[in-house]
Structure 1
């Protein structure tokens, strides 16, 4: 979404669109500016025991999957909010150096308070990604920095 259009959106929507635009650009420092200090991020297919908390750890978590890609882009879709809670239907395109690619359909739930995202839950089909990713994709996770892991069980 163009920046001038983001500025015209309601503040909650603008925060969410802004964070996703920064993530699509893989501008890790900008992503952090949209996240509250105690923001919780989790991939729902993995569950709350493997969440990340806080901008630094959330970016560490995101980098594991996205940073190694040859290209990555988020495409906007339907966004619905009730003031603080936002549901965002969108998709991502992942391309690896080895030639594989995947289109991932997402529904993301965000909570935005005081202009920052305090909760971020991604709902997506892990099997769809695993079926398109390079054979080393899951093994690469086993070697990644996992210092970001936060057990959010009971908090989300």
Structure 2
């Protein structure tokens, strides 16, 4: 599978919140991190990456990723896209992303999301950040020095 097909498939699975399919697009040692949070709160491997993603996305009434510019060079790719988040309480947010991926053997081995944390926290319900305090954090992997 090409780098481009892997990335498009990964993001479509995420947009559909098809967690089992998403796992098939990431390697067992894939490192995922939100760059605004930093490498000390990364996730590693399909199971923990999905645990991490579910914290933010599972409670949403709707979530959709909208494709954008995808540029690749060998195994590395940059993907400019945006997401729309809608909470059951009526709040919504549009998040603009640039994601850096490395793809090897048809699977993402690195996934770094660059986005504006304020674009989310300024529009999320007040309870959104406090919900993280009670979330399963067993996924946390310190990738400092690895990415």
Please classify the TM superposition score into its range, dividing by the shorter chain length.
over 0.9
- Residue 71 of structure 1: aligned partner: 62
Partner secondary structure for residue 150 of structure 1:
coil
Unaligned runs of 5+ in 1: 1-9
The answer to whether 1:142 aligns with 2:142 is no
Partner secondary structure for residue 89 of structure 1:
strand
Alignment of 1:1-156 (within 5 A): 11-156=2-147
Rounded to whole Å, the distance in 1 between the matches of 2:101 and 2:59 is 25
Partner secondary structure for residue 110 of structure 1:
strand
Greater helix share, structure number = 1
Unaligned runs of 5+ in 2: none
RMSD, aligned α-carbons? 0.7
Matched pairs, number: 147
Rounded to whole Å, the distance in 2 between the matches of 1:110 and 1:132 is 27
What TM-score comes out, normalization by structure 1 length? Answer: 0.93
Cα deviation for residue 115 of structure 1 reads 0.5
Rounded to whole Å, the distance in 1 between the matches of 2:18 and 2:99 is 19
Rounded to whole Å, the distance in 2 between the matches of 1:29 and 1:83 is 27
Cα deviation for residue 83 of structure 1 reads 1.5
What TM-score comes out, normalization by structure 2 length? Answer: 0.99
Instruction: Render the CA deviation track for 1:61-107: whole Å, top value 9, x for unaligned.
Output: 00000000000000000000002000000000000000000000000
Rounded to whole Å, the distance in 1 between the matches of 2:69 and 2:88 is 30
